[in-house]
């Protein structure tokens, strides 16, 4: 029996890998954020029999050379070699995948990218992330960074001189002007504050936009322009067949449609079908992707 986990800053979701490759969700528990032993105990409580393997999707980045995790929202895992420390503590095989990579794998193997060569799965939520799958195989790249288009200070917050008043926002990675800091839900809120002096949650800003509010319309125009300009460079670099989206903003299909049209207008290839679309696994890509990783490892072990 293999247990799969989707671990975020608030909750640990867990389920059992089925013979047909799906993951049957069993439940969720609160994530012990700052207590390593409590975290280990929580995983052990949800796992199968002693020694049975587990596969984890984790909201965080990993250096594939050192194994050190960067998990700012779960302090007890931050700067720790999580995979090897968990194997030692739990005495069972542990596979760990970054959540954006797990979502991209789920889409490429069983979702919107099924049968397509290049799938660039992106997360548009409280932050911006992504994962790249080519011919069904996850591309991790040097140090495990492949697909992480959210960082690197390339943004022009004036959107080519059309906008005044948007600052270069500092990013959680320590740089200023990253895509993550301006094209995420938190970024949308910062743009709204910069342009209009209003503190609103992203869901309230998009609701006002849908209702025709002029201020929100300007914010959303800036947000989608900045996002599609950045995304278009990655489309030209990667040549994706599809860009499935996960994260909180993926639930707004009208917003995704605007991002899709603006992005396709800017890229070199002529995409006749929508490119930026909601992922089939937008809600459970972590668990499903962890299941795919477990399936792949089992196949390799059986060879
Ligand atoms: Zn950054």
Q: What's the DSSP call for residue 127?
A: S
Q: Which residues contact 186 (CB under 8 A, 6 or more apart)?
A: 126, 127, 202
The residues with which 26 forms a beta bridge, in sequence order, are none
Alpha carbon of 201 to ligand 1 centroid (Å)? 21
Place of tokens 């007890």: 76
Nearest to 130 by CA among 153, 117, 146: 146
Q: What's the DSSP call for residue 176?
A: B
Do the domains spanning 3-98+283-302 and 112-278 agree at the CATH topology level? yes
Q: Give the distance between the most distant pair of CA atoms in the chain.
A: 61
Alpha carbon of 220 to ligand 1 centroid (Å)? 21
Alpha carbon of 78 to ligand 1 centroid (Å)? 17
What pLDDT is stored for residue 258 in this prediction? 98
Query: Domain 112-278 falls in which CATH fold?
Result: Nucleotidyltransferase; domain 5 (3.30.420)
Alpha carbon of 72 to ligand 1 centroid (Å)? 13
Alpha carbon of 281 to ligand 1 centroid (Å)? 26
Alpha carbon of 138 to ligand 1 centroid (Å)? 23
* SS3 state at 201: coil
Contact 149, 128 (CB under 8 A): yes
| Better-predicted residue by pLDDT, 169 or 4 | 4
| Class of the CATH domain delimited by 3-98+283-302 | alpha beta
Helix axes 185-196, 202-210, angle to 10 degrees: 70
Alpha carbon of 227 to ligand 1 centroid (Å)? 15
Nearest to 150 by CA among 126, 119, 117: 126
Alpha carbon of 76 to ligand 1 centroid (Å)? 22
Alpha carbon of 151 to ligand 1 centroid (Å)? 4
Alpha carbon of 176 to ligand 1 centroid (Å)? 7
Render pLDDT for 175-194 as a digit per residue (tens, 0 to 9): 988 999 999 999 999 999 99
Place of tokens 């700067």: 79
Alpha carbon of 70 to ligand 1 centroid (Å)? 13
Q: pLDDT at residue 45 above 70?
A: yes
Alpha carbon of 69 to ligand 1 centroid (Å)? 16
Alpha carbon of 110 to ligand 1 centroid (Å)? 30
What pLDDT is stored for residue 161 in this prediction? 72
Alpha carbon of 212 to ligand 1 centroid (Å)? 32
Alpha carbon of 223 to ligand 1 centroid (Å)? 17
What pLDDT is stored for residue 77 in this prediction? 94
The confidence band for 297, taking pLDDT boundaries of 50, 70 and 90, is confident
The domain spans of the chain are: 3-98+283-302, 112-278
Render pLDDT for 160-170 as a digit per residue (tens, 0 to 9): 677 777 888 88
Q: How far is CA 215 from the centre of its chain?
A: 29
Name the strand (E) or helix (H) holding 194: helix 185-196
Render pLDDT for 275-285 as a digit per residue (tens, 0 to 9): 999 999 999 99
Angstrom distance (rounded) from CA 79 to CA 139 = 23
The confidence band for 158, taking pLDDT boundaries of 50, 70 and 90, is confident
Alpha carbon of 106 to ligand 1 centroid (Å)? 25
Render pLDDT for 198-229 as a digit per residue (tens, 0 to 9): 999 999 999 999 999 999 999 999 999 999 99
Angstrom distance (rounded) from CA 166 to CA 168 = 7
Name the strand (E) or helix (H) holding 108: helix 99-110
Q: pLDDT at residue 159 above 70?
A: no
Alpha carbon of 125 to ligand 1 centroid (Å)? 15
CA count, 13 A, side-chain hemisphere, 14:
17
**Is the Cα torsion angle 136, 123, 234, 273 positive or negative in sign?**
positive
């Amino acid at each position: 029996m293999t247990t799969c986990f989707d671990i975020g800053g608030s909750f640990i979701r867990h389920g059992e890998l089925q013979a047909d490759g799906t993951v049957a969700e069993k439940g969720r528990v609160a994530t012990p954020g700052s207590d390593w032993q409590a975290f280990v105990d929580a995983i052990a409580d949800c796992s199968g029999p002693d020694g049975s393997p587990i596969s984890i999707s984790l909201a965080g980045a990993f250096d594939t050379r050192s194994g050190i995790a960067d998990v700012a929202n779960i302090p007890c895992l931050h700067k720790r070699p999580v995979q090897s420390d968990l194997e030692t503590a739990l005495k069972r095989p542990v596979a760990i995948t970054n959540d954006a990579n797990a979502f991209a794998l789920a889409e490429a193997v069983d979702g919107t990218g099924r049968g397509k060569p290049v799938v660039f799965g992106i997360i548009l939520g409280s932050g911006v992330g992504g994962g790249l799958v080519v011919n069904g195989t996850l591309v991790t790249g040097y140090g495990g960074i492949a697909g992480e288009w959210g960082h690197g200070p390339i943004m022009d917050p004036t959107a080519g001189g059309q906008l005044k008043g948007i600052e270069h926002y500092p990013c959680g990675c320590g740089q200023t002007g990253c895509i993550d800091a301006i094209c995420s839900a938190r970024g949308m809120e910062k743009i709204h504050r910069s342009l209009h002096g209003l503190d609103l949650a992203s869901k309230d800003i998009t609701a006002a936009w849908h209702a025709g509010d002029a201020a929100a319309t300007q914010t959303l125009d800036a947000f989608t322009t900045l996002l599609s300009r950045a995304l278009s460079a990655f489309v030209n670099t990667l040549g994706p067949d599809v860009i499935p989206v996960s994260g909180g903003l993926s639930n707004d299909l009208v917003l995704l449609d605007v991002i899709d049209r603006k992005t396709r207008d800017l890229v070199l290839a002529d995409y006749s079908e929508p490119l930026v679309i909601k992922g089939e696994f937008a809600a459970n890509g972590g668990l499903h992707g962890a299941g795919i990783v477990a399936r792949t490892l089992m196949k390799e072990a059986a060879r």
